Structure 1
Amino acid sequence: MKRIWTMGMLFLIMAVVMMGCTGTTDPKEAQVVTPEAPAAEAPAAVESTPESAIKEGGVVRYAAFGTAPGLFNPVLQSNSFDVYEMEVMFEGLLRKSMTNELEACLAESFSVSEDKRTLTFKLRENVKWHDGEPFTAEDVKFTFEFICHPDYAGPYSAVAKAISGYDEYFEGKADHVSGIEVIDPNTVSITTKEVDATMTEKICTSILITPKHIWESVPVKQALEQTELLRNPVGTGPFKISKFVPDQYVEMVANDLYWNGRPHVDKYIVQVANPETAQTQIINNEVEMLAVKQMNPDDLDYYKSAGVFVDTISFDAAMNLGVNNSNELLKDKRVRQAFAYAIDREAIVRDILYGYGTVANVPYKPDFWANPEDGLNAYTYNPQKAIELLEEAGWQYKADEKQMYKDGKPVKLSLKYYSGNKQVESIAPFIQQALKEVGVQIDLQISEYSTMLADMKSGDFELYIAAHKNGVAGDMKSQYNSAFTPPNGTNYSRFSNSRVDELSEQGLRLLSTDERKPIYVEIAKILNEELPIVYLYHWHQGMAMNSKLKNVQLTPNSMLGINYQTEKWYFEE
């Protein structure tokens, strides 16, 4: 398989971005004035398998937790369950490979302009929509102008605002977005307002292309009211909708017109499952795949004895103890450092994660290019050191009471966490006990995630437990730049550091990884010292699968972790 560009090469020409559950955007083309972008071929099979070993046909059923509202338009979606299916029904211009590189999808190649603001895409020829209509550059233009429309209420406005001509179109001063240009039926370009190291990946992989011929007659303001269209989507992906039963299941069938060949399996069903009975379902062959959140050795042995294969995947995220840096008790970094020393994070990884994870000291995973190779404080478990730091910060420890005081009052903090995640529900009392050992009383407050998130946005919290996904291309701006303090963004910790503000701005303007690395290494070291949040761990998650199902590749670049080259899945004879 030829790749369009490795991540390192791509950074030399234009900023890169990450999908995640969030970003979105699309690339474009221009004249090649930087290293030439090799033409990308259709992705090769996941592994070389004798044709005789591949069984054509069969049904793959995935047991998913959540609700299935049926909003199947990729630029309108807001529910993760719907994203599961849209990842195989719709496609972006590019996609992320198993090695985290951008590779061909609807675009077979692209180039970057000399000023590094314009991407020009050469689209794959003879791609068909599920209804047989041809896919063209007009569909790309339509999709991006849709998210630029003043009536658009979906999740990708931030991407749209970065495109040149957005303001004039949004304000009604222009009838099209000047930064989106159809050059010919198979060539389209997208120009951004400025060089931004995150926009390429957002544009290329986060925004999945929608069909102009289906949606062009629908006013953008009324798009969410189109139940019939939303529940009968038309995409270009390897599977197409067959049947949808709200809050029960989504049934998809193989796309005979798929540009990379008809999938080997006939059907792919994502069905709502009960966490209490899902394990029994996969043991009894009632489903073929199931996410395993808790890697309990007893459960893993049970799966193994039943002939169920369990693979693991590591996500580019960290579970953290969030801290409100604007709170008078918590604004001193020595207090936050004390909390890090007080919590035995190695014990969390060993006893709660069963070893399926690593202790985190910065946001980045240990194998990420911006993770510092040295110079980090590991905050090895040391409750006595925690007490000393709290006393240095002006707290008073009364050993006979095992209680910390501040200004004559016993210290008691609230810790908010969310229900439905067994790891989080186990970690909360662990942290409560750990901080109690150094004299800090913790009031545990559990709620739905949406309730906790609202409190994080409003600032109505002292401590919280939540996972934070790393920004695209190492970007830390949205989480730590003071300009993104709510209500202006997602700097929920209310962290403010002038050097981080400066560096996070600089990093977005540099395109090569070599240029960017020292910027983000320095940011990581500052975060390790200041600890705006206490980094707990990076975790691994399991995927239980029918042992006869082959070529399923686990990737952190998919919402489910499995939806990469689904056309290559097959059942072994």
Structure 2
Amino acid sequence: MIKSNLRNFLAVVLLTVLFILTACGGGGSDDEIFSIDDFEQIKTNEDEAIEGGTITFGLVTDSPFEGTLNYNFYSGNPDVQIINWFDESLLTIDENYNFTQDGAATFEVNEEEKSITFTIRDNVNWHDGEPVTAEDWVYSYEVIGHPEYDGVRYGSDFTIIEGMEAYHNGEADSISGIEIHDEKSFTITYDQFTPSLLASGIWTYAMPKHLFEEIPVGEMSSSDLVRREPIGMGPFIVESITPGESVTLVKNEDYWRGEPNLDGVTVRVINPNVVVQSIQNGEVDLVSTFPTDQYPDNKDLSNVQYLGDVDNAYTYIGFKLGRWEDGEVVVDPEMKMADVNLRRAMWHAVDNNAIGTRFYNGLRWNATTLIPPSHPDYHDETIEAPTYDVDKANQILDDAGYIDVDEDGFREDRDGNELVINFASMSGGDTAEPIAQYYIQSWEAIGLNVQLLDGRLQEFNTFYDRVEADDPEIDIYQGAWGVASDVDPTGLYGRNAMFNYPRYASEENDRLLAEGVSEAAFDQEYRQSVYKEWQELMVEEVPVFPTVYRAIIIPVNNRIKNYAVDFDESTGIYRYQLAVTQDEAFKAE
């Protein structure tokens, strides 16, 4: 057992480290606490827009973007930030994340037949002038369901389509549940008709079949049409790409909603370390993300307006509990982090309220469950998740048999063997290193020897490559998830979900996830009760634990008109409406 004076000493050191690191790299120059409720979501500008003009969008990342520029194949957020400028969903969503009839296509639901019929508008065209057809949309399903598909999209949203699994397994040449009626309409019939379908359960992105059909499916993700000359149906057209660095786009005069106001957009990679300088100097008008820890010291910049919203996301600590084999999670009870007591103690050991306050001045805050408050109908504030309690963490470990046998200050495992826990965390932003070190110090305070993987932070692509590959050197990791419009968490925690990075599975988890998308779940109260149970299960079993919920804070140059945190029906603002009031960006005074 660790001696009590060592525990107290480590707790004092931990508190000191937190305040030192905050002064050096986290939080603002004062103790001012902010609230997301104080921010507008739309950039209004009373000045008159000029005709044309171009803007620069800063893609904030500490590594080159991968360049997989197609909705069917991308896997990282930097790539989709680019795709969103030149391609788009055929369906739009409202403020409650439900599909509307205001997008490039409309739909008609037949619950009795478990089917949905889609009709694409006549004036929706690809950038080469060819019409977007029913075949194009269906082709997207055929590619994702194909046995040779090498992307990450195939999952429960597709397997519930009638005949999809037979097609995916190579037992059929077509998907029996999809029927094309004419050039612009088709119907999908489902084996299971779920409440998720009318939120994010429909794949709403088409592929230009006339361009892709000569490319083998297994080679599509590396083809020029994905990497060098991507094509879409959105308001801007890709003109040129500097791989990993920038993309130049020009307006699509034939865009179905109307001709864009801007002449073009340049997307350029901006390192998180210079994002403030780039905004101050007017080098960028907009950014994909802004480090909330840098807001307090820069809140008074004269050349921007800050917009904000609750992010559909959470940061979390994940525990490796198994591996990915043949499209399914295989739980391994011999994994280092297999004991739920060890995982729960590590949750109790960290003070996420302090992280949110000291590093982010209130713009991130303690997270409790894996359904964030961006989904207020389902996020359950009443659930009692583990809170910061060093004494309780120590007691849990003592009772579970994690004892400091050799009295070196670190606990051995339950068999008396040395216990070293390898922790993977990403680089990016001023607070990445101090926060990682804070967690390490927090766990040291309860006698756990946690070491940063390879002794350093991992860059974005390397981090996710290793986590996804179940690198045996990784025991725990710090990640973040953006959640889908629909509340269904199967895509992140289902047994057949590739993104289930902790490799967690249980029969109870299977049951609750299935119930959440059952026909009974069309009753919202029933669905809410199911996801309350699921949130409680995750708190009980701790395959991961959420650390903080997040605010989106976006600085927008004062020359910008008609910009929204979300371009959709919830704001009534779309990218083609973006405009500027003068040729040059404002610089900070």
Q: Could you say whether these structures have the same fold, taking a TM-score greater than 0.5 normalized by the shorter chain as the test?
A: yes
The equivalences for 1:155-304 within 5 A come to: 155-158=152-155, 159-170=157-168, 174-202=172-200, 204=202, 206-224=203-221, 226-227=223-224, 231-296=228-293, 300-302=296-298, 304=300
Give CA-to-partner distance per residue, 1:38-92, whole Å, 9 cap, x none: xxxxxxxx89988x83333111111113435654443244454442232232222
1:59 to 54, 60, 75: 54
Residue 233 of structure 2 aligns with an amino acid whose one-letter code is T
Whether the 8 Å CA contact 1:415–1:442 is kept in 2: the answer is: yes
Match of 1:477 in 2: 490
Partner of 2:425: 417
Q: After superposition, what is the alpha-carbon deviation per residue over 1:78-133, rounded to whole angstroms, capped at 9, x for unaligned?
A: 45444223223222221334553323455443122234631111322222332333
Structure 2 contact 357–365 (Cα < 8 Å) conserved = no
How far has the Cα of 1:564 moved from its partner? 6.6
Superposed displacement of residue 433, structure 1: 1.2
Match of 2:359 among 344, 352, 372: 352
Cα contact 1:198–1:472 (8 A) shared by 2? no
2:314 corresponds to which letter in structure 1? Answer: A
Find the aligned partners of 2:65 and 2:76 in 1 and give their Cα distance: 8
Partner of 1:308: 304
1:112 equivalent in structure 2: 109
Name which of 531, 550, 561 aligns with 1:520.
531
CA contact (8 A) 2:562 2:573 kept: no
Q: How far does residue 242 in structure 1 lie from its aligned partner after superposition?
A: 2.4
Matched-pair contact (CA < 8 Å) for 2:373–2:379? yes
Match of 1:543 among 554, 559, 562: 554
Which letter does structure 1 place at the counterpart of 2:386? Y
Moved more, 488-497 or 263-272: 488-497
Does residue 96 of the first structure (1) align with residue 93 of the second (2)?
Answer: yes
Which residues of structure 2 form unaligned runs of 5+? 1-41, 322-332, 583-589
Distance 2:445 2:470 in 1: 30
* Whole-angstrom distance in 2 between the partners of 1:173 and 1:379: 48
Are 1:391 and 1:397, in contact at CA under 8 Å, matched by a contact in 2?
no
Say whether residues 1:334 and 2:334 are aligned partners: no
Helix, strand or coil at the partner of 1:429: helix
Q: Distance in 2 between matches of 1:495 and 1:389?
A: 22
Instruction: Out of 344-353 and 76-85, give the one that drifted further.
Output: 76-85
Structure-2 change in CA distance of 1:373 and 1:442 (3 Å): closer
Paired with 1:475 and 1:414, the residues of 2 have a C-alpha distance of: 31
Deviations 1:520-555 (A, max 9, x none): 101111222332223211122322221121221113
Alignment of 1:21-60 (within 5 A): 53-60=48-55
1:160-181, Cα deviation, whole Å (9 max, x unpaired): 4443233454566655332222
1:427 match: 435
Seen in structure 2, the aligned counterparts of structure 1 residues 143 and 307 have a Cα distance that, compared at 3 Å, is: same
Distance 2:489 2:67 in 1: 33
Secondary structure of the residue that 1:103 maps to in structure 2?
coil
Instruction: Return 338-347 or 241-250, whichever deviates more.
Output: 241-250
Residue 18 of structure 1: aligned partner: none
Task: Tell me the CA shift for residue 478 of structure 1.
Answer: 4.6
Q: Counterpart of 2:37?
A: none
| Aligned residue in 2 for 1:321 | 317
TM-score normalised to the size of structure 1? Answer: 0.80
Question: Is the counterpart of residue 139 in structure 1 residue 123 in structure 2?
Answer: no
Q: How far 1:365 sits from its partner (Å)?
A: 1.4
What residue number does 1:87 align with? 84
CA contact (8 A) 1:98 1:555 kept: no
Identify if the C-alpha distance between structure 1 residues 85 and 305 changes in structure 2 by more than 3 Å, giving closer, same or farther: closer
Asked if structure 2 preserves the Cα contact closer than 8 Å seen for 1:92 and 1:105, the reply is no
Q: Residues 284, 111 of structure 1: CA spacing in aligned structure 2 closer, same or farther, 3 A cutoff?
A: same
Residue 467 of structure 1 aligns with which residue?
A: 480
Partner of 1:370: 378
C-alpha deviation, 1:480, in angstroms = 4.1
Alignment pair present for 1:458 and 2:470: yes
Amino acid corresponding to residue 343 of structure 2 in structure 1 = R
Q: Distance between the aligned counterparts of 2:451 and 2:568, measured in 1?
A: 36
Equivalent positions of 1:500-511 (< 5 A) are 500-509=509-518, 510-511=521-522
Alignment CA distance shift 1:513-1:572 (3 Å): farther
Q: Distance in 1 between matches of 2:172 and 2:537?
A: 44
Count of residue pairs the alignment pairs up: 518
Cα pair 2:318 2:479 within 8 Å, conserved = yes
Change beyond 3 A, Cα 1:532–1:252: same
What SS does structure 1 have at the residue aligned with 2:119? strand
Select between 312-321 and 71-80 the one with higher mean Cα deviation. 71-80
Q: 1:182 to 1:315 in 2, by over 3 A?
A: same
Q: 1:438 to 1:217 in 2, by over 3 A?
A: closer
**More displaced stretch, 111-120 vs 261-270:** 111-120
Contact map agreement 2:99 2:198 (CA 8 A) in 1: no
1:498 aligns with 2:493: no
- The letter of the residue matching 2:513 is S
Residue identity (%):
26
Q: Which moved more, 1:228-237 or 1:207-216?
A: 228-237
Kept in 2: contact 1:316–1:556 (CA 8 A): no
192-201 or 307-316, which deviates more: 192-201
The answer on whether the counterparts of 1:291 and 1:542 sit within 8 Å (CA) in structure 2 is: no
Structure 2 counterpart SS, 1:317: strand
**Counterpart residue identity of residue 323, structure 1:** F
Please give the secondary structure, in 2, of the residue aligned with 1:53.
coil
C-alpha distance after superposition, 1:152-196 (max 9, x if no partner): 333333354443233454566655332222223332212233334
Q: Which residue of 2 aligns with 1:391?
A: 398
Q: Matched residue of 1:504: which SS? A: helix
Q: 1:121 to 1:512 in 2, by over 3 A?
A: farther
Aligned partners of 1:156, 1:113: CA distance in 2, in Å? 25
Q: Which amino acid aligns with 1:458?
A: D
Using the alignment, how far apart are the partners of 2:337 and 2:567 within structure 1?
Answer: 33
Distance 1:170 1:295 in 2: 43
Asked whether the 8 Å contact 1:292–1:541 carries over to 2, the reply is: yes
